[in-house]
Structure 1
Amino acid sequence: MTETIAREATYLFFPILLLPIIFFILKHFKSYFLSKTSLPLPPGPSPWPILGNIPQMGKKPHITLTNFARSYGPLMSLRLGTQIMIIGSSTTAAEEILKTHDRSLSARYVPSAVPAKSSKFNHLSLGWALECNDGWKNLRTICRSELFSGKAMECQACLRETKATDMVKFVCAKEGKEVKVAELVFATVFNMLSNASISRDLISLEKEGVDGGMKSLIRKYIELISASNLSDFYPILGALDLQGLKKKAKEAFMRICATWEPIIKDRREGRRGNASSQEDFLDALLDNSCSNDQINYLLLSRKSVSMPDWLLGCPNGS
C-alpha cells in the first residue's frame, strides 16, 4: 500500500514540476508568433513551426541564400529558430545598410558563445558591442588613430620589414630540413601584430614551427564562437549552454590572454609615477585609463580579425 502511494506521488510530482517550464516555453513561443504577424518584414520563404527556416538552409547556405534572393529579391528576411535575420544581397542593399543607415545598423549581433556577450563585459568590447555608444566611439577613435591611420601604417613599415627578414633568415637556417610554412607565416604575421600592439614577440619561430600552439588556440577560439549554437537560435536556452560552447570559448579566451597579461602588468607598474611616453598601442590604451579586461578584448579582437581563414586553417565561413 505504501509503495503504491509513493509511486502515485512520484507520477504527480513530475507533471507539477514540468508545468512552469512548459508555461515558460509556451509564453516564449507565443511572443515569437505574435512578432511574426506584427513586424513589417521584407519577403522571404515561409518558415517551419518552431524551427523557422533552419531546415531549408542545407549544407551550403551561401548557395541557398543566392537561390532565395532570385525568388524574394535583394532584401529578404529569414527566421532561424526564434531569431529574425534580414539579408541584403545586392550592392544597392549593401550601400543602404552600410552607408545610408550605418549609424542605426552599426551594432553587432553577439554570438552566445562569445565572452563579451555578458553585460559585464560587453561595454568593454569594440568588435562585439551591442550598442555603439560614446564609449564605443572613443575606442574606435583610439584604434583608428593609433593603428589604422596613414601615419601609424608608415611607422609600422620598418617593423613589418624586420619581421619578414627574420622569417627569411629562419628559413635559410633550416636549409635541408622540413619547415612548416603555414605555422611559420602565422608566427611572423602574429609577431608583426604583437609588436605593433605591445612591442614584443609573443611566438618563437622555432616553437611555433614545432607545435603550432598559438595558431591552434586562436583557431579553436574562432571555431567555437562561429559554430552553430542552439543558444543563438533559441536565446531561451542560452543560460543552459547545452553544447558547452560558451564554457570552452571562455577557457580558450583566458588561455590566449594569459600570453600578454604579464606584459600589461609590467607596463602598468612601470608607468606609475612616470610621465607618459607613448610608444605603441598598449601605451595608448593605458593613457586612456583602459582596464585589463578592456585591453584583453581589444588585443584579441585585433589579432583574431587580422588573421585570414586560410592562415589559421579555418573552414570557409568561420
Structure 2
Amino acid sequence: MYPTKSLTGEFTPFFLLTLLSLILVLIFKRSFSKGPPVPPGPYAWPIVGNIFETGKLVHVALSNLAQVHGPLMSLQFGSRLVVVGSSPTVAAEILKSHDRSLSGRKLPLPIRFKGSKLHNLGLGFFDECGDGWRSIRTVYRGKVFSTKALHSQAEVREKKVNEMVAYLESTEGEVVKIKEVVFVTALNILSNIFLSVDFLDYEGKGVAEGMRGYIRRFAVRSSTDCLSDIFPILGDWCFRGTCSKYMYVVEAMFASWVKQMKDGIFMSQEGYAKEVLKKFKLLDSKPVKTPMSLVGSLRYLTCTRPDILFSVGLVSRFMEAPSSIHMKAAKRILRYLKGNLSSKNYLVLRKFYSDFFGTGDGPF
C-alpha cells in the first residue's frame, strides 16, 4: 500500500552495505599495499585523509603539525599525497638540491586539462618543465627581466614608488589599506612599462577599474581545490562548472586591452569583434551555418561590451536546441557590432529583443 516505504527500507541497507564494503576495501588496500617511501605524518583517514585537520588557517595547522611530525612530513588530501617542508634546511633541499625533480606543481583541473583554453596559459601555469616552459622562460629572462631591461625601467619604477609615498603622506591620520595601495603601484608600474599609461589611481578609478576584483577572484579560484582535485574520479562531473568559472574570470582579465582615443583611454575589444565577424563570414554580411560557436564567441566578447550582455545572454538560453530564429537573432547582434565596433558607443538592446520575440518588428 505504501511502496515508497518498502523501497526506502530496501534501499537503505543496500546503500549502507555498499558504502561499508567500499570503506573496508580501501582500508585493506591501504594496509597491505606498499607505496613509495614518504616522510612521517599524521594518520590519514580512509577516503578523506587529513582534510579535516587543516581547517581554514592552513599555515597555522601545518606549523602545529610540523612541531609533532618534524620539518618534513606527508599529508593525504583525498587521493592526493602532499609533502610539506617547513624549515630553512628542508626548503633549501627542495628548491636547490632537488629543484628539477620537485618543480612540478599541482594545478587546478581546468588549468592542467590539455583540452582547456587555460592549459599552459602562461609561465606560472605550466604543470611540467618541458621545452615550452624553457622557451618562455628564456624569453622572460632575456627580454623582460634581463639586466639591461631592468635598468631601462628603473625610472618608471622610481616614479611610481614616489607617487605611492606622496599618496601615503597625503592620507596622514587616515586608515589606509596598504595591500590596495601596493597593488595599484605594482599594476601601474607594469602598465607604464608595457603601455605607457596608468591603469588605476589610488581611489580605484581608471581604465582597469574592475581588474583588481578579477585578479583577486582568480587568485582565490586558483588556490582553492575543487572536488575533482581531491577525488579524480569526479573529474568529468566537476570539470565543466569549475572551468566555466575560471574562464569567466580569465577572459575578463586578458581579453581586453587599452585603446587610446582622442577623448580618452578605453578598455576595448574592437579587434576581437572584427575577428568574430570575419570568423562567421559576416564582415560582409554573408550567412553562417551554426549558431553555437557563434554565441560562444559573443559571450567572450561581453567581457568589455555590456551593451550586448543582455541580448547575448537571452540567445544563450536556447543553445540546447537552436533554431533558425536564434541564428537570426545572433546575426542581428553581429550586424549591430559591425556598426558599433568601438565599445564606447553603447546601445541597450532590450527593446530590440522584446520586439524581436513577438511584440514588434524591432529597430533593425
Q: TM-score, normalised by structure 2?
A: 0.56
Matched, 1:130 2:127: yes
Consecutive unaligned residues of structure 1, counting only runs of 5 or more, are 267-318
Q: Going by fraction, where is helix more abundant, 1 or 2? A: 1
Aligned to 1:296: none
Partner-residue secondary structure (3-state), 2:197: coil
From 216, 219, 236, the equivalent of 1:222 is: 219
Partner-residue secondary structure (3-state), 1:78: strand
In structure 2, what is the Cα distance between the partners aligned to 1:128 and 1:234? 21
Matched, 1:69 2:66: yes
Change (3 A) 1:100 1:171: closer
Partner-residue secondary structure (3-state), 1:122: coil
Aligned to 2:201: 205
From 91, 97, 102, the equivalent of 2:94 is: 97
Partner-residue secondary structure (3-state), 2:107: coil
Partner-residue secondary structure (3-state), 1:76: strand
Q: How many residues are treated as equivalent by the alignment?
A: 253
If you compute each CA radius of gyration, which structure gives the higher value, 1 or 2? 2
Change (3 A) 1:98 1:179: closer
Partner-residue secondary structure (3-state), 1:105: coil
In structure 2, what is the Cα distance between the partners aligned to 1:260 and 1:227? 28
Partner-residue secondary structure (3-state), 1:132: coil
Change (3 A) 1:58 1:188: closer
Partner-residue secondary structure (3-state), 2:123: coil
Pairs within 5 Å for 1:233-312: 233-241=230-238, 244-260=241-257
Q: CA RMSD in A?
A: 4.4
In structure 1, what is the Cα distance between the partners aligned to 2:214 and 2:32? 40
CA contact (8 A) 2:27 2:46 kept: no
Letter in 2 for 1:90: S
Change (3 A) 1:165 1:46: closer
Change (3 A) 1:68 1:185: closer
Letter in 1 for 2:197: D
Partner-residue secondary structure (3-state), 1:37: coil
In structure 1, what is the Cα distance between the partners aligned to 2:196 and 2:26? 51
**CA displacement 1:222-251 (0-9 Å, x = unmatched):** 112212422221122232228944322220
Letter in 2 for 1:128: F
Change (3 A) 1:203 1:134: same
Consecutive unaligned residues of structure 2, counting only runs of 5 or more, are 260-267, 272-364
Change (3 A) 1:150 1:208: same
In structure 2, what is the Cα distance between the partners aligned to 1:179 and 1:88? 37
CA contact (8 A) 1:111 1:232 kept: yes
CA contact (8 A) 1:76 1:88 kept: yes
Partner-residue secondary structure (3-state), 1:163: helix
Q: TM-score, normalised by structure 1?
A: 0.63
From 110, 114, 117, the equivalent of 2:112 is: 117
Calculate percent identity across the aligned residue pairs: 37
Partner-residue secondary structure (3-state), 2:46: coil
Aligned to 2:362: none
